[in-house]
């Protein structure tokens, strides 16, 4: 694949401070074809408003993309039997009305979230812990990075919940938003109204730490959910846990002390949970400033540590590996296969999106992203190569079946497509915990201030394809399988795209085999450039993607 020429003047203003909200479903005009097998619901979440006018007359500006006030989106896709395509209905809702009202009244953004400054007068851990106690109203908390359909263990346990169960044709009983701190926001799966707040303490009394992963992992067969909880203090403790989809019960699989770090995601195989503590180490004492300030600069001399936990037995932490330093937002998939050195043993193979350091986090301030700002133009014209990412494969060789205290070496097998700088990776969900061939992601090449294309990587041949539409900024591509398909890539990708030139968005449908555009549904407004989503097929009533 040839590297593409540079052009970085794509308009993105509307994507970082959207005002458009559509509370009642409206039908979208569809051009081309969206296959009937995509019928169901696509949910999306991410930052909405970033500028608030306070009662004191000041305009308060959120500084970092991760702190934008959340907005949720719902695309109901209905098969049209007459032409084999689909009709699309759209509604959306801001989910932090009470929090925004508090900002309007107080004229302050302090203590708001990831990068906004905290109150230095309060004790460090006391401040951190208090922020993770659910607030008294459902819309008083900014929770909106990932979405979970029918999250086990939380039904009838969330606080201030006005509705405990939901049933609709797509089988969505509950919808929860999550983030990287210990909180859930329950959302009406049809109207998107915030209904309640909960925390991991509702799952298990030991899950009291403030930090967790937005991307829990769910077993594609059982639906069991896996995540970690991190307690901060003089000694920092990780608890890796499982929530049973069958019983709703939560089990602590392993408890161990280790370096605290910002871990946005983790991995599972059929037999293991893998928690990689990569090099985004935290200094809890700096939490008084902000979570962002607590993330220490990457120290290339400190290895990344991979902790392997037995998820089917009671062996707990069974192995530790180390690899050269790196940073990661998003893991992709992991699986087990016969060891290359000894066929009687097993290796774990893990794919993820790797960066050399944490510079990417610092590049995501709005001053670097809003294309009309001189600061953004300067940043884009002087982009540092350190913010680029690559799809990378690691191997953890000869995984023991019982606990071992030896620290083994993980090997980096290959790393590719750094010139495309992929992010927000997805795969065919049927390949979860099994070896996959194809990975899909957005590209962040520097043609726009954030995303500027959608890519596909064939992990076997290491060949790639890219979809590009000049001036358009796509969101995470979500794979929906063709039920009559025979190959891993038989299906489509659904992505919400901002047309920067028009200042409006559309739902894009791409052929997952070759990234050709099949159809689109046009929205009469701008959808914020957001994070993640879930597709729930109408036929099976289960989500497409991880948790």
Binding residue positions for Fe cation? 215, 264, 330, 532
Q: Are 97 and 139 in contact (CB under 8 A)?
A: yes
- Encoding tokens for residue 35? 């296959």
Residues 6+ apart with CB under 8 A from 202: 153, 154, 157, 158, 159
DSSP string over 396-441: E-S--SS----EEEPEEEEEE-TTT-EEEEE--GGGTTS--SEEEE
d(CA 364, CA 370): 10
Query: How many CB atoms are closer than 10 A to CB 203?
Result: 24
Q: Are 242 and 250 in contact (CB under 8 A)?
A: yes
- Encoding tokens for residue 321? 């590996």
d(CA 443, CA 437): 19
Supply φ then ψ for residue 433, to 5 degrees: 65, 10
282-297: burial string, b at 16+ Cβ within 10 Å, e else: bebebbbebbbbbbbe
Residues 6+ apart with CB under 8 A from 168: 189, 190
Residue linked to tokens 């358009």: 472
Residue 269: alpha-carbon gap to chain centroid: 19
């Amino acid at each position: 694949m040839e590297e593409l020429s540079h052009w970085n003047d794509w308009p993105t203003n509307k994507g970082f401070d959207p005002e458009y909200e559509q509370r009642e479903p409206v039908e979208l005009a569809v051009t081309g074809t969206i296959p009937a097998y995509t019928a169901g619901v696509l949910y999306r979440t991410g930052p909405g408003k970033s500028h608030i006018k306070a009662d004191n007359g000041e305009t308060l500006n959120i500084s970092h993309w991760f702190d934008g006030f959340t907005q949720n989106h719902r695309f109901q896709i209905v098969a049209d039997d007459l032409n084999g395509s689909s009709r699309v209905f759209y509604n959306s809702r801001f989910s932090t009305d009470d929090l925004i009202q508090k900002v309007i009244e107080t004229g302050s953004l302090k203590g708001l979230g990831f990068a906004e400054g905290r109150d230095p007068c309060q004790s460090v851990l006391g401040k951190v812990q208090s922020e993770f106690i659910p607030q008294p109203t459902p819309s008083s908390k900014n929770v909106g990075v990932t979405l979970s359909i029918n999250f086990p263990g939380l039904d009838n346990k969330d606080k201030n919940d006005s509705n405990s169960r939901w049933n609709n044709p797509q089988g969505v009983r509950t919808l929860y938003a999550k983030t990287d701190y210990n909180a859930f926001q329950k959302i009406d799966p049809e109207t998107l109204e915030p209904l309640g707040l909960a925390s991991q303490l509702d799952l298990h009394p030991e899950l009291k730490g403030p930090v967790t992963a937005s991307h829990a992992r769910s077993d594609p067969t059982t639906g069991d959910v896996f995540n970690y909880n991190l307690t901060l203090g003089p000694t920092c403790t990780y608890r890796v846990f499982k929530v049973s989809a069958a019983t709703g019960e939560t089990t602590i699989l392993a408890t161990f002390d280790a370096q605290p770090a910002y871990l946005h995601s983790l991995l599972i195989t059929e037999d293991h949970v893998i928690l990689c503590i990569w090099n985004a180490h935290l200094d809890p004492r700096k939490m008084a400033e902000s979570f962002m300030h607590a993330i220490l600069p990457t120290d290339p001399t400190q290895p990344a540590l991979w902790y392997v936990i037995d998820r089917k037995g009671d062996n707990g932490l069974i192995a530790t590996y180390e690899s050269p330093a790196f940073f990661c937002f998003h893991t992709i998939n992991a699986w087990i296969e016969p060891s290359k050195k000894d066929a009687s043993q097993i290796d774990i193979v893990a794919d993820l999106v790797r960066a050399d350091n944490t510079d990417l986090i610092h590049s995501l301030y709005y001053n670097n992203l809003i294309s009309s700002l001189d600061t953004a133009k300067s940043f884009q014209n002087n982009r540092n190569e350190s913010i680029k990412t690559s799809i990378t494969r690691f191997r953890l060789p000869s995984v023991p079946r019982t606990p071992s205290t030896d620290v083994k070496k993980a090997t980096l097998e290959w790393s590719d497509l750094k010139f495309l700088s992929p992010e927000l990776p997805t795969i065919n969900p049927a390949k979860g915990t099994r070896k996959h061939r194809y990975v899909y992601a957005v590209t962040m090449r520097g043609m726009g201030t954030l995303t500027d294309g959608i890519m596909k990587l064939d992990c076997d041949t290491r060949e790639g394809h890219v979809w590009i539409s000049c001036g358009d900024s796509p969101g995470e591509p979500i794979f929906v399988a063709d039920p009559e398909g025979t190959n891993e890539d038989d299906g489509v990708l659904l992505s919400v795209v901002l047309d920067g030139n028009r200042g409006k968005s559309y739902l894009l449908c791409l052929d997952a085999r070759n990234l050709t555009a099949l159809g689109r549904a046009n929205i009469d407004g701008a959808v914020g450039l957001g994070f993640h989503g879930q597709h729930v097929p109408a036929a099976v009533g289960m989500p497409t993607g991880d948790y």
